[in-house]
Amino acid sequence: MRNSKLYKGSLNTIILKLLEEKGKMYGYEITQKVKEITKDELRVTEGALYPALHKLEAEGFLEVEVAKVDNRIRKYYKLTEAGEKETVNRLLALEDFIRNMQQLVNPKWSLE
Amino acid sequence: MRNSKLYKGSLNTIILKLLEEKGKMYGYEITQKVKEITKDELRVTEGALYPALHKLEAEGFLEVEVAKVDNRIRKYYKLTEAGEKETVNRLLALEDFIRNMQQLVNPKWSLE
DNA sequence: ATATATACCTAAGTATCTTAGGTATGTTAG
DNA sequence: CTAACATACCTAAGATACTTAGGTATATAT
């Protein structure tokens, strides 16, 4: 990731959401897509990404399909059924988190 | 914190913002205030809070004032000048983070 | 020929949290 | 009156998720 420590813990959610949206993606593609969407403000480093993908796979949330394109290996990941459920939960948790952070940071409560 | 890994890295920002708003606060007060604001959805544990306060103080962002109330010690923390600047930066980083996460999670980009 | 892009990977170190304690005083319920 | 809960501080061990810094290999552009 880039600069901010805030991103800690959100990588899995990002991966799951991208896969939900795109159907299947390979690792390098994910790094590029995040760069593109966030206009280079957020970079998923490979040192964080690959272990995260392997863990999500080990937990049964992702499955892999290996392909060979231009003489190079690609590992396409897609959500399992459990992964789809997990994605829903993670997105709900993200919404809660953002709502809570906004409540903490927007000073409405200071008028109490 | 509570349940979600998303909160990792956001504790310092929460502390700084609360102190900016309230002027001065003591540790236990911070834990209660966060519970109150987030309607018990987010709990700052003392095991995370006190080391974080000590670190922010060591970094020169907070200064301490010890008081005795009802025969119990309270350590009031408030922002230094450097702490005020840091708070501005952390809040900007939080806004960036939230904006980026919303862009990643809101599927506008999937229409491309 | 060299750098950059694509594409995978791991290991050591760092940071931030959780969990699980510890100390001590004040207050409330049975 | 005593036991539980609230207030108020603290630390240490362990878990986890990153960053940093490598490594391998092929394709393409300068």
Tell me whether residue B112 is in a domain. no
Least CB–CB distance from A37: residue in B37, B91, B109: B109
- Residue A50 pLDDT class (50, 70, 90 cuts): very high
Q: Is B3 on the interface with A (CB under 8 A)?
A: yes
Residue A56 belongs to domain spanning: 5-106
Tell me whether residue B25 is in a domain. yes
Q: How many domains does chain A have?
A: 1
Q: What Rg value do the Cα atoms of chain B yield, rounded?
A: 16
Subset of residues 73-112 in chain B with CB less than 7 angstroms from any atom in strand C? none
pLDDT, average across residues A2-24: 92
Contact predicate B92/A6, CB 8 Å: no
pLDDT, average across residues A48-53: 98
Nucleotides in chain D near protein beta carbons (<7 Å): 7-13, 16-23, 25-28
Tell me whether residue B87 is in a domain. yes
3-state secondary structure A20-84: HHHCEEEHHHHHHHHHHHCCCCCCCCHHHHHHHHHHHHHCCCEEEEEEEECCEEEEEEEECHHHH
B45-80 pLDDT, tens digit per residue, is 999 999 999 999 999 999 999 999 989 999 999 999
Tell me whether residue A62 is in a domain. yes
CATH at B22: 1.10.10.10
- pLDDT recorded at residue B106: 83
Instruction: Please state, in angstroms and as integers, the Cα–Cα distance from residue A77 to each residue in A25, A38, A74, B35, following that order.
Output: 5, 22, 10, 39
Q: Is B46 on the interface with A (CB under 8 A)?
A: no
- pLDDT recorded at residue B112: 55
- With a cut of 70, say whether residue A1 has pLDDT above it: no
Tell me whether residue B14 is in a domain. yes
B18-30 pLDDT, tens digit per residue, is 999 999 999 999 9
Residue B48: closest CA among B73, B27, B19: B27
**Beta-carbon separation of A104 and B41 below 8 A:** no
Q: Is B80 on the interface with A (CB under 8 A)?
A: no
Tell me whether residue B110 is in a domain. no
Contact predicate A78/A67, CB 8 Å: no
Least CB–CB distance from A17: residue in B42, B100, B105: B105
- From chain A, pick out residues whose CB is under 8 angstroms from the CB of B18: 104
Task: Give every CB contact of residue A19 below 8 A, 6+ residues apart in sequence.
Answer: A25, A62, A77, A78, A79, A83, A87
Task: State CA B104 to chain mean position distance.
Answer: 24
- With a cut of 80, say whether residue A108 has pLDDT above it: no
Residue B53: closest CA among B41, B42, B65: B65
Tell me whether residue B111 is in a domain. no
pLDDT, average across residues A73-78: 97
Tell me whether residue A95 is in a domain. yes
Q: How far apart are CA B82 and CA B109, in angstroms?
A: 39
- Residue B1 pLDDT class (50, 70, 90 cuts): low
Least CB–CB distance from B6: residue in A18, A93, A105: A93
